[in-house]
Each structure stands twice: as C-alpha cells, then as structure tokens.
Structure 1
Amino acid sequence: MKIDLRKLTGSNTVSIPFSETLDLREETLYGAKPFQSPVQISGEVSNESGVLRLKGTIKTIYSTACARCLKPLDILLTAETDMILSDDPETEEEDDLFVLTGDSVDPADVLVPALILQVQMTYLCKEDCKGLCPHCGADRNEVDCDCDKKQIDPRFAALRALLDSDEDKST
C-alpha cells in the first residue's frame, strides 16, 4: 500500500491512517521462512509543521525452534517505529530518518525492517532448557539418558592420558 504524501503537503490534511495485512511467508531469515502467520501493520503518516512523520506498529508470530532442544516455538513479535520522512539523500545515515525516493511511501518499507531488528539469534523454550544429549540425542527435559556424563572430548584425550600417568607415578 503506497501512501501519496502530496495529500499531506498540499492540503489541510493533518494525518493519513493506514492498516494492512502483509504476507511475508517467502521472507528468508537465518535459512528458514519464519513468518508463516499474517503480519499486521497499522499507524499513520502525519504532517507536523512541515515535517512528515510515520508512526506505526507491526505484529506477527515468529515461528522458530528452541536453540537447545529443537522444540517448535511461536514467538509474538511486535515493533513500533516513529520515523521522520525525508527526501534528502544526504541524511541516509540517520537512525530515525527514512529517505523517500518519490512522492509516496509504503509503510511496509519502514516497518518490516523494524520487525526484523526485533528478531533474536536464538530462542529457548524455557530458560533452564537442558537441551539434547550430544551422544544419544535424547531430550534431557523429558528423559534422563544413560550416557556417561563425564565423557571426554576427543581433542583433550591426550591431556587426560598425561593426567592419568601423573596419578600413576604419585601412587
């Protein structure tokens, strides 16, 4: 949905509200397509003493997996933005500024990046998730596997052999 900004600059219109449902099912993030639920955006574009401002909210469900046990997770993501709209390309580096390329703006161009910035690298099903056993793959939250808890990393086996030989010499 494009909003024609000339309506704000050429008349007494103070603001133009917007509300839309986006389909981001094909967006790829970290090798997955996590936005399988509809994405809701809403807000308004306003003219405040000659300065164009876009205020909006974006909400969706982010589908991912627990970083430790791989259980599927649905995380509610929400982002709010308050951006000044400018047609000056020199101001592109400003954080709270969106550079316009014409006489209209698509609110999704402003809000979708704000949503993606809310995504964390990892999510956990619960803070004390025990994860999967690295040897048998059992979910440690559900079962206690019989794998040896003191298995030594093969990269440190040579060091373990040195410690064992030192213990043999001391006895």
Structure 2
Amino acid sequence: MKKMIVLLAFTVLSFSSFAQNSLTNKTSQISLTIDSENKNAVKSDGLLIKVHFNNLRNETVKLLDLFDPEGIFFSITITKEDGNIISPSGAGKMDFGKANKFKYIEISQSSSYTKVLNISATLKKQGISLAPGKYKIKISYHNQYGSDCIKGWFNSNEIPFVIN
C-alpha cells in the first residue's frame, strides 16, 4: 500500500513538473533532437545515441556542463515493437554542496551542442538487456541546477533502432 501511495505521489509530482516545464520550453526556444550513432542494426551492447541541444534563440544560451550521472539529467524511454515500454529510471536530485562552482557550455545563436549517450551502458547498469528486435527510443533532458542557464524538461523526437 505504501509503495502505491509513493508511486501515485511521484506520478502527480512528475506530471505537474512536466506541465510547468512545458510552458518554459515554449518560451525558451531550445529544442532537443536525437539520432543514432549506429546507422545499422546493433548488438545490445553497442547502442549509442547522439543528443543535440539546438539553440533557436537570437542569443547565446548556456547549458550546464554536467551530464553524469545520466539518470539525474536524462530520462530514456524505449518502446518495443509490441508496444511494451522499457524505461530505465531517470530524474532525481543531487547535493552539490555550497562551494560547488558549475561550468557551462555556451551554445551560440542557431547552433547546437551534441552529447553522445551510451544507452547500452546505462541499461547494463540497471540490469536491463534488450532482446533482438525492433525498438523506438526517445530521451528527455531535465535540469534544475546552475544559474542563468537552460533549465526545465526537454523532450526529444523518437527514432527507431534494431537490435540484432
């Protein structure tokens, strides 16, 4: 019973956070797109995804230069061909302490920054193995840290991939 209450509370909080950040994304003019590092079918231990942070603003924006642990900053949703969803845990909080000085990546007007994620390594850390077959993947980036930088929840497009 306690687990169900915790799960329900987490779902409600996640939805309200998503709804609030959807408004932020509309005004921020930052888009998140993904494509596969692998153009053909891959082995389950070789899935690499390029995440592109695209600046659509008329000015330079700052992106927090911190992506690890991936589960804090990225949520991954993988959908099997039969519709079953594999969603490694994502989102969370970190305590950086008061003395932490963040570094930033500057993305100039109409430019982008690309980060390659090793999805296979992320899945392996959580004991998830993908069987051969067809899948789709989408990734969300979420950040609440730093100052004067991109914050909020940003959803990518969805792309297909094949595990052989």
* TM-score, normalising length: structure 2: 0.30
Flag the structure with higher strand content. Answer: 2
* TM-score, normalising length: structure 1: 0.29
Higher-RCO chain (CA-CA 8 Å, sequence separation at least 6) = 2
